[in-house]
Amino acid sequence: MKVRLLLVILGVAVVAVYGVLAIMMVGLPGGVTTLKAGFTAKDAYPMALREAQSWQADAQLVSATASWGELTAEQLLQEGTSWGITFFSPQTRQIRIVSVTQGGAEGVESIDVPPTVRTADVTSWRVDSPEVLRLFLDHGGRDFLGQHPGATVSLRLGPEENSERLVWLAFGIYSADRSSMSLQVDASSGEVIGRAP
């Protein structure tokens, strides 16, 4: 069970890093946007969806990711962030990564993928990113950040492995000593459904 969870965390970390790199590589029109607290995943999603549907009308949500680096627990709840939101077009069998800030959304890259890509049921999405960050902090994240200054905290919204349930995965990673901590939250109810370590 621990090995499986670790593999999931590592896989999500790769996706999150890829999304963050994509966001950093592409500047949005109008120059640099200062990110303020309060720009949530639910704020970013409609902007990303409009951009994705202008790419392909059948675009469906696959995942949403964001990361915060080198922050205290208090700063984590106050600091704004960009979102990397991935969509899948069944017709073209491609995914599209959309970078979203408060200033707008821009498609970053389209990639050919197998038709078996799993999409998210957005109708069950009720819990937004600030609540997930608070749950992460309340279930060990505050201690983790206190013990590992400079750690990165990331969120990923997407379908649960081997299930259709929509879940949030919140994880902290401190690369200096490879420490990590993760929390899985039901995106519909806010129930904590997994924690490691």
pLDDT recorded at residue 37: 58
**Residue ranges of E strands in the chain:** 60-69, 83-89, 94-101, 104-112, 152-159, 166-174, 179-186, 192-196
pLDDT one-digit tens code per residue, 8-42 = 444 444 444 444 444 333 333 333 334 455 789 99
DSSP β-bridge partners for residue 112: 94
pLDDT one-digit tens code per residue, 133-191 = 999 999 999 999 999 999 999 999 999 988 989 999 999 999 999 999 999 999 999 99
pTM value is 0.82
